[in-house]
Structure 1
């Protein structure tokens, strides 16, 4: 499980293991002071599983060469990343950055990042039936802190990557969440943090809130796909009704009009609706709808692969 307690933070790794192990037998929970990227680290292990070659973790005495689930938490990531090589800023104590690796075999991978987003948002911002959400979801991979009259500011992101090991496929699900206030300049979507929702929350407390709901949602997605979560996502859909542009030559712009049961985005152009699911589509909110940031923000990816750690 955990190799150490990190500085002044108490991560409760053993308690997390007891909570999650019944859901993921064979799980390891590991906490490290620093990692270049938790996703990269777990992908490296997975690629070396069964090859007989050591991964870069072996010198640290960590479990390598197997296909068991692992929750890897880094108090600081030095080279966190999103899609297309974009950096994810994560400073010591101010961010929650972790990755979960596990063998996964859904009938359809479409919508996995959306399912993860719903799990995180519902755990951190539980809603009553008629309550307006504070955390919104921006297709396909971002969490926003919503603001009246605007789209909101970026709270976190999700990066999902997969690797084949024999007949199995390992999913590595990376999460990055801003926890404490910190100065950030020139961010397209602005900066938001969890302490704006709960003043005294810490990164370990946030992880304790969301770890089990996240695992349960991923396992449910493997069985049932995205469709059962379609309504929950719609309730937090930050793009719905907003004018957006894309990088698709045949569909340069439209109005976001919800998702289908596979997690694809519907764009309305005049009286027609077009389904968008391509892995190379960039969605940008038009300047008039960009809210308080005053800058367009771009997202590239599918509903099954998206950015954070």
Structure 2
């Protein structure tokens, strides 16, 4: 594959001087590699792309693998110092959705807190119905003088000088083959037949960097309405990982999911909460 590394670098370095763009033929995990570098004191702004990822990780440690041409796997690492880290994964998801589906014609929606879903068209022979997972996000952070990781979102601790934030993205390009998943995956080629991983990277990378820099300045609140407009769970009956049921009502200004339960409306913000439509 031919990757537009130089063009991407020219566009992105204008937003964040010192940023480098690297494309590797294979690696265990782009997130893991940037975290390794952070442990070694290398906290330079970096866009790291892997044609093949052999030991990728999703949320809660779930494995996520990407084969050359079948998926776009990359991580963007840079120092950030927002006043509040809440809602970062939602901001990232919104950036990706806007880049992949600017007008909403493809039906790309956001599944709180860190997945991109697409509603499958009416069922046809041999085609699964319901939602399909298009992409996932994993965010980890490292302290400049040591390592701390947060799973999906970092939290500020006192008066920190900032954290090295690694935003990992996996986007299915070819229709994936997967069984036994609660939400079956689908690829961009299910929606746009000729799209390639390098083309998708060109669409999403620069806007993602701009989103992270804007989040550092203003947090999630300015994005609340835009997220809710693409919320896949809005007004659906959902069940939480602790067994409670309710109706999803969008997210608040911090990115917490609002759920109407028998006990009243609750703001769900724990990274350990898994939400599925009933």
Q: Could you tell me the TM-score, scaled by structure 2's length?
A: 0.88
Partner-residue secondary structure (3-state), 2:55: coil
Residue 116 of structure 1: aligned partner: 92
Residue 195 of structure 1: aligned partner: 189
CA RMSD between the two structures = 1.6
Q: Determine if contact 1:119/1:213 at 8 Å carries over to the other structure.
A: yes
- Aligned equivalent of 2:70, options 94, 98, 111: 94
What runs of 5+ residues in structure 2 fail to find an aligned partner?
123-128, 146-160
Q: Determine if contact 1:151/1:238 at 8 Å carries over to the other structure.
A: no
In structure 2, the CA distance between the partners of 1:266 and 1:151, relative to structure 1 (3 Å rule), is farther
Distance 1:93 1:148 in 2: 24
Q: Determine if contact 2:28/2:55 at 8 Å carries over to the other structure.
A: yes
Residue 278 of structure 1: aligned partner: 270
Partner-residue secondary structure (3-state), 2:64: coil
Distance 1:28 1:224 in 2: 25
1:30 and 2:30 correspond? no
Distance 1:141 1:241 in 2: 18
1:104 and 2:89 correspond? no
Distance 1:30 1:270 in 2: 50
Residue 77 of structure 1: aligned partner: 53
Q: Determine if contact 1:34/1:74 at 8 Å carries over to the other structure.
A: yes
Equivalent residues in 2 for 1:267-306, closer than 5 Å? 267-270=259-262, 272-286=264-278
What runs of 5+ residues in structure 1 fail to find an aligned partner?
1-8, 50-64, 287-309
Structure 1 residues 156-194: Cα deviation after superposition (integer angstroms, max 9, x where no partner): 100000010043310000000000123222222112111
Structure 1 residues 228-255: Cα deviation after superposition (integer angstroms, max 9, x where no partner): 1111111110011111112347xx2211
Partner-residue secondary structure (3-state), 1:275: strand
Partner-residue secondary structure (3-state), 1:22: helix
Distance 2:231 2:23 in 1: 33
- Aligned equivalent of 1:241, options 230, 235, 238: 235
Partner-residue secondary structure (3-state), 1:184: coil
Residue 48 of structure 1: aligned partner: 40
Partner-residue secondary structure (3-state), 1:244: strand
Q: Could you tell me the TM-score, scaled by structure 1's length?
A: 0.79
Shift of 1:284: 2.6
